Amino acid sequence: MNYNSSARVAGAQITGQATGVDKAIAGLLVAGVTFVLGYTVVRASLAASTPSTDATAASDVEIVIPHEAALWADFATQF
């Protein structure tokens, strides 16, 4: 039996064997998609929430949803 090492490496790449870099990229992609979807769901649920029907409570409470730029505005200045 003659095993050619270059043929084994080429065969491993063709079969789709993932490397550490591939797994890291896939992990970052999944984390990014999860963050974006979670953020969107939270923003949508906050925007869809209805204020209470009590007249005095409604006049005292104002629902404010900040823009994402406002959330990160002072991040670099705190450290």
Q: Are 58 and 52 in contact (CB under 8 A)?
A: yes
Read out DSSP for the chain?
----HHHHHHHHHHTT---HHHHHHHHHHHHHHHHHHHHHHHHHHHHHPPPPS-HHHHHH-------HHHHHTTTTT--
The answer, yes or no, to whether residue 50 has pLDDT greater than 60, is yes
The answer to whether the pTM exceeds 0.75 is: no
pLDDT tens digits for range 31-45: 999 999 999 998 888
- Digit-coded pLDDT (tens) for 65-75: 878 878 777 77
DSSP symbols for 3-14: --HHHHHHHHHH
